[in-house]
């Protein structure tokens, strides 16, 4: 049984709740990613922030990303996967939540990110096809 820990990207970086959306966008650009986990000062996961969140929930509404805090967009339940959970469980979680990226946690510590691309590179074609088909039919959450 392959675990999330075995195929995740282990170099996940957080954006902090006190950061501005401009700082978050700059970090996304630097890291060449479209989503970042949101962590508090306690290093606990508080949510996920996507480039789409910045555009739709701030800029499109006339908000100022240089003064809007990441914490203003951190809300709702964050879907995660345990580091030692199976890839099959990760797939079920992604499909059920309609997400393309999952923060991977060990206890309360963020240890990595598992993306649709990680699954595509490491799983059998039939699992990848099932994931892509399910996520393509649902609106993207992250």
Cα torsion angle, 2, 122, 9, 102, sign: negative
- The residue ranking higher by pLDDT, 77 or 89, is 89
3-state secondary structure (DSSP) of residue 115: strand
Closest CA to 104 of 82, 76, 78: 82
Which domains does the chain possess? 4-137 (3.10.580.10)
Q: What confidence tier does 126 reach under pLDDT thresholds 50, 70, 90?
A: confident
Q: Are 76 and 115 in contact (CB under 8 A)?
A: no
Q: Residue 65 pLDDT > 80, yes or no?
A: yes
Pairing of strands 15-16, 35-39: parallel
What is residue 24's predicted lDDT score, i.e. its pLDDT? Answer: 97
pTM over 0.85: no
């Amino acid at each position: 049984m392959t675990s999330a820990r075995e195929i995740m990207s282990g170099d996940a970086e957080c954006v902090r709740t006190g950061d501005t959306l401009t700082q978050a966008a700059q970090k996304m650009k630097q890291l060449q990613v479209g989503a970042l986990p949101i962590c508090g000062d306690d290093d606990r996961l508080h949510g996920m922030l996507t480039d789409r969140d910045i555009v739709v929930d701030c800029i499109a509404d006339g908000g100022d990303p240089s003064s809007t805090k990441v914490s203003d967009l951190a809300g709702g339940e964050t879907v995660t996967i345990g580091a030692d959970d199976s890839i099959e469980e990760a797939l079920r979680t992604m499909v059920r939540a309609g997400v393309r990226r999952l923060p991977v946690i060990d206890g309360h510590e963020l240890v990595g990110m598992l993306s649709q691309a990680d699954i595509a590179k490491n799983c059998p074609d039939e699992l990848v096809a099932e994931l892509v088909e399910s996520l393509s039919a649902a609106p993207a959450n992250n």
